[in-house]
Amino acid sequence: MTLTKMILSAAVLCGLVATAPLWVAEARSRGPDPRAQGEHPSVVLVMNEDQFKGKWKQFKGDLKKAWGDFTDDDLKQIEGSYEKFKGKVQERYGDRKEEVTRWADEWFKKHDGSNRD
C-alpha cells in the first residue's frame, strides 16, 4: 500500500474532511488528464494515413456493411483519406463518432499484416 493510500485510509477512518488536497496531489502525480487536452482515453488510432489508404478498398466494403449511413458518394469522396473519413464520420454519426472510430481502429488491428496468427 502506498503512503498516499495509507494516509487517505487513516483520514477516512478518523473522519477528517481535509483530505481533498491529498486527492488532488495524488491525481497530479499521475500526470495530465488526456480528456483535459481534448483527447478521449479510449480512442487510440492504430493506423496511419498510408495504412488507411492501403487498406481502403477492403475497408470500405466492411465499413458500409457495419455503418449503413455512409453512401457510395461518401466513399468516393473519402477515397482513402483518413482526414476525409473523420469528417464523414462526424457528418453521418456525430453523436456516435467515437464508436465508429473505435470500430475502424479494431478493424485495422484485425487486418494488420504484422498481427496475423
Looking at the structure, do residues 53 and 25 belong to the same domain, yes or no?
A: no
Instruction: State the DSSP code for 17.
Output: S
- What pLDDT, on the 0 to 100 scale, is given for residue 76? 95
Kindly state whether residue 25 falls inside one of the protein's structural domains.
yes
Which residues lie below 8 Å from residue 88, measured CB to CB, with a gap of 6+?
A: 70, 74, 77, 78
Q: What range does the domain containing 98 cover?
A: 49-115
**Alpha-carbon torsion 50, 62, 90, 43, what sign?**
negative
The low-confidence residues of the chain, meaning pLDDT below 70, are: 1-47, 113-117
Kindly state whether residue 40 falls inside one of the protein's structural domains.
no
Taking only the tens place, the pLDDT of each residue in 28-61 is 555 555 445 554 444 445 567 888 888 999 999 9
